[in-house]
Structure 1
Amino acid sequence: MDDKAERTRLFSFPGGVLELQSTGDVDEDYAGFYLQLHGQAHDEEGGVAVMRWKPTCIGYLRTDVSGVAQMWDQSQIRRLAERLGYDFADMVIYDPKFGRPPLARLRAQATRLDAEAVVVPSPEHFEGGEIPAALVLQVDVIVVNPEETYARRPVSQLPQHR
Structure 2
Amino acid sequence: MIRLFPLAGLLRLRHLEQDEAAGHLAAANSRVQDNDSRRDRARALLHGTADSPTTAAALQAMAAARSSSRSMLADLDALGQGHRESLRSAQSAFDAARAESKALEKLEARHAQAVAAADLHAEQIVLDEIASTRWHRNRTEDEQ
TM-score past 0.5 threshold: no
More strand by share: 1
Query: Which band: TM-score by shorter chain?
Result: under 0.3
Tell me the TM-score normalized by structure 2. Answer: 0.22
Which has more radius of gyration?
2
More helix by share: 2
Which one scores higher on RCO, CA 8 angstroms, separation ≥ 6? Answer: 2
